[in-house]
Amino acid sequence: MINKYDGFIFDMDGTIYRGSRLIADADKTVNKLKASGKRTVFISNKTTGTVNDYYNLMKGFGLNVDEEEIVNSTIVLNKYLSENHKGEKFFAIGEKSFIGEVESSGLIFSDDPSEINILIVTLDRTLNYEKLETAARALENGARFFAANIDDTCPVDEGEVLDAGSTISALQKRTHKKLELHFGKPSEFMFEEIKKRLNLDLNKVLLIGDRLETDIAMGNKFGIDTALVSTGVKLYSNGNDDIKPTYYFDSVCDLLKTNGDF
């Protein structure tokens, strides 16, 4: 398995770690690949921390990673916003760290529905009715409807919590407005950023993740081999029966087990 691929794309939360806990021997797996000269990129739809936060988390777990190898949907979103919407006013259903990062891309935060140009939805563990109504009224007033990611849930230590997809569904039903763009997996925006980081023949790349509709769907959409791990979210079909991975793994460590290293 190791010799078949030159590059590996790893989902992070649910694949390398879950919440605050490292998936058993994920560090050994990644470090073995890096020592073998393989190219790696680590990707996440999670926006509650910065890329530097995720870098420090994985370094703390003992993984030999570089910050430039990490891509989350905030980075991808901000690149698009800075190129196309600098100076415009936005409202985000998202946490303070995320809002601060969007502001750093040159947009201006507002919670006045009459002046909001862009609504952005992502994971928000402080979500309340007031935020939902501000977002809904902004959409009704003509605001663009964007999302950093579309995951329905996010894996945590105790199970899963509601994520952006659930909020998007609520807003679409409330306003009858449809989401226009999203910037995480499995979007082309995310994939283009990954390709730049890897700079490899895609036939020699394997994508490993825990979610059919984001990780595996992205690999299938862009012609990359995929492996679905069972260490993250619960596997529900939810109309995703046609999304099939190339491999099924118990965990990311199966990469080395098939090579006889464990």
Q: Is residue 17 in some structural domain?
A: yes
Q: Does 173 fall in a domain?
A: yes
Is 2 inside a domain boundary?
no
191, 97: one domain: no
- Looking at residue 260, its pLDDT comes to 44
Read off the CATH number of the domain in which 105 is found.
Answer: 3.40.50.1000
Q: For residues 195 and 174, give the distance between their C-alpha atoms in angstroms, rounded to a whole number.
A: 37
Give tens-digit pLDDT for 112-133.
999 999 999 999 999 999 999 9
- Residue in the structure block whose two tokens are 């992205």: 218
**Residue 170 and residue 132 in contact, taking contact as beta carbons nearer than 8 Å:** yes
Would residue 223 count as lying in a domain?
yes
**What is the maximum span of the chain, computed from C-alpha positions, in angstroms?**
61
Q: Do residue 81 and residue 143 come from a single domain?
A: yes
87 and 63 inside one domain: no
Distances (CA, A) of 48 to 82, 92, 107: 20, 13, 18
CA distance 35 to 73: 28
Does 57 lie in the same domain as 31? yes
Residue 100 makes CB contacts below 8 A (sequence gap 6+) with none
126 assigned to some structural domain: yes
With H, G, I as helix, E, B as strand and everything else as coil, classify residue 139: helix
CB atoms within 10 A of CB 60: 11
Same domain assignment for residues 113 and 164: yes
47, 129: one domain: no
Domain count across the chain: 2
Distance between CA atoms of 98 and 250, rounded to whole angstroms?
Answer: 32
pLDDT at 239: 61
Among 131, 165, 182, residue at a domain's last position: 182
- The tens digit of pLDDT for each residue in 30-48 reads 999 999 999 999 999 999 9
Residue 194 lies in a domain: yes
Instruction: Tell me if 1 is assigned to some domain.
Output: no
Helices (H) and strands (E) in the chain, counts: 9, 15
Tell me what pLDDT residue 242 has.
82
The segments of the chain whose pLDDT lies below 70 read 234-240, 258-262
C-beta of residue 149 within 8 angstroms of C-beta of residue 184: yes
Q: Which domain holds residue 126?
A: 74-182
